[in-house]
Amino acid sequence: MLLKMANNIKQIKAIVLDVDGVLTDGKMIYSDSGESKVFYVRDGKGINLAQVAGLRIAIMTSENSLIIKRRAEKLKIEDAYLGIMNKLRSIKEFCSKYKLNLEEVAFVGDDINDIPALEVVGLPIAVNDAVEEVKNEVKKRGGIISKNNGGNGAVREIIEKILKEMGKWEETVRKDIERQKSE
């Protein structure tokens, strides 16, 4: 199973992320002034590093929220699929748009509505606190389950694992440091 996972990682060209429960801890805070979400800053840096390494990043969520749209813009994520009820169809549309095979896509999810996407991508990934049905699907397909919970560094952990397995981690970090020095 480990060999299969390593082969899957090396062919990945894009990572699609669920939002609530993956990029956030899944909690929604409502007040008189609206809804709030908390994002983990190191997950954002991980996304940036994946982009530096040449991976395409997308987010896909059933929520249709200005907060998520703003987070995507801040992270320079061009493909923000908001208000998506059928993630399987949207994954296929994403692949068609960029001429990707499903095997070249990793999908990170946490709940039952993510299972159709996890069933078809080349690298299914679950956050540590995903529901059992999601973890079982990921295990069955030889995917990755993070050690960290959603909204608490799981995305950064996953991206580091992928880039290290691809042999791109050190070069990507070096490029990012040089970019920071030149700005």
Enclosing domain of residue 77: 2-182
Written as tens digits, the pLDDT of the chain (183 aa) is: 443 554 579 999 999 999 999 999 998 888 888 888 999 999 999 999 999 999 999 999 999 999 999 999 999 999 999 999 999 999 999 999 999 999 999 999 999 999 999 999 999 999 999 999 999 999 999 999 999 999 999 999 999 999 999 999 999 999 999 988 988
Q: What is the pTM of this model?
A: 0.94
Q: Taking Cα atoms as reference points, which of 177, 171, 164, 118 lies closest to residue 6? A: 164
Structural domains in the chain (count): 1
CATH of the domain at 75: 3.40.50.1000
